[in-house]
Amino acid sequence: MKNIINIDLIKPKIKEAKLSLYLLKKDKLTRIALYLSIFLFILALVGYWIVPYPQHIADEANSINKLQPPSMEYFFGTDELGRDIFSRVIYGTRISLITGLFSVGLALLIGIPLGAIAGTMGGWIDELIMRITDIFLSFPPLLLAIAVVSVLGPSLQNAMLAISLSWWPWYARLVRGQAISLKERKFVQAAKAIGSSNFKIIFKHIIPNTVSPVIVQASMDIGGVILTIASLSFLGLGAQAPTPEWGLMISTSRNYFLNAWWYSIFPGLAIFITVLTFNLLGDGLREILDPKTRKN
């Protein structure tokens, strides 16, 4: 019993990891995306301690130096209160990644079980769940999120909640489609013949096998979610001042657009890079996780 975690347990993982590495090695773009995303995560983790002006992340005003162009002192210039935009953009990574991951995570938590139940059970349960998702899908996600936030009141937490609420139907649909094909697989039939409960079939047999496409979809969506959060903040429905959220920063920068180009460019660039990174990462993951789309 003591050797329960023995080498045999790890071997298949090593082999799988080798294959993934091999595929990764061949795909330059995915490799870049992977490095970039690791970089972004590190920035999010240690950003507070490495930025030159951590005090500017909060509301501390420094009005002598307001709206300075980029220089050696302030890499990305300063904003209307004289705060260092570089420090705020770097710290913004943490906010964007957390909100992105959390929103997608919540959407997955709602969407996966509902989709799996609908697909596996079929019949009226399927109809009920899918008609509800249809209702959600009939609104554009951003519009739905705006509606939800205006009901709940503008704040970053509510924006995240709103995005999860408008995003889960996509996962429910994806998982349902997978579940419908998986439930015809013989191992599910075998589990039924054995007498396993529906609960066990859904959560132990169906859901683990839908993981790959869901991971791919989710990693691509993180970019979209970050963009939506930024949009909500831009409209004043997400993060509130003085939070250094990229969308909010761009929103404020509108007033100084003509004489302080750096104020909107650098947060915008940060959004661009983050979204692109996650999209490329998602594409690459699909290549690795889904053999059907492999180029050879």
Residue closer to another protein by CB (options 212, 279) is 212
Residue 138 sits in the site that holds another protein (CB under 8 A): no
CA dist 67 and 242 (Å) reads 16
Binding mask 7-26 for another protein (x = CB under 8 A): -xx-xx--x--xx--xx---
Residue closer to another protein by CB (options 123, 153) is 123
Residue closer to another protein by CB (options 254, 294) is 294
**CA dist 121 → 125, 182, 197 (Å):** 7, 12, 12
Beta bridge partners of 78: 84
Binding mask 23-62 for another protein (x = CB under 8 A): x---------------------------------------
* Residues 43, 23 contacting (CB under 8 angstroms): no
Residue closer to another protein by CB (options 5, 151) is 5
Which residue stretches of the chain are H helix? 7-26, 28-50, 85-121, 123-137, 141-152, 156-182, 186-194, 198-200, 207-234, 246-253, 261-289
The distance of closest approach from Cβ of residue 16 to another protein in the complex, given in angstroms and rounded to an integer, is: 9
Token duo for residue 83: 């705060």
Q: Phi then psi for 78, rounded to 5 degrees? A: -125, 165
Binding residues for another protein restricted to 148-207, rule: CB under 8 A:
185-187, 189-197, 200, 205
Residue closer to another protein by CB (options 7, 72) is 7
The distance of closest approach from Cβ of residue 173 to another protein in the complex, given in angstroms and rounded to an integer, is: 22
Number of residues located near another protein, criterion CB under 8 A: 29
The distance of closest approach from Cβ of residue 204 to another protein in the complex, given in angstroms and rounded to an integer, is: 8
261-289 and 207-234 helices cross at what angle (nearest 10)? 170
The distance of closest approach from Cβ of residue 117 to another protein in the complex, given in angstroms and rounded to an integer, is: 18
CA dist 96 and 107 (Å) reads 16
Burial class, 241, CB count within 10 angstroms (exposed 0-12 / middle 13-18 / buried 19+): middle
Of residues 69, 105, 208, 291, which one binds another protein by CB under 8 A? 208
* Residues 149, 135 contacting (CB under 8 angstroms): no
Stretch that binds another protein, among 1-9, 125-133, 166-174, 275-283 (CB under 8 A): 1-9
CA dist 207 and 260 (Å) reads 51
Residue closer to another protein by CB (options 34, 241) is 34
Distance of CA 278 to the CA centre of its chain: 8
* Residues 133, 169 contacting (CB under 8 angstroms): yes
Of residues 62, 65, 155, 209, which one binds another protein by CB under 8 A? 209
Residue ranges in contact with another protein by CB under 8 A: 1, 6, 8-9, 11-12, 15, 18-19, 22-23, 185-187, 189-197, 200, 205, 208-209, 211, 296
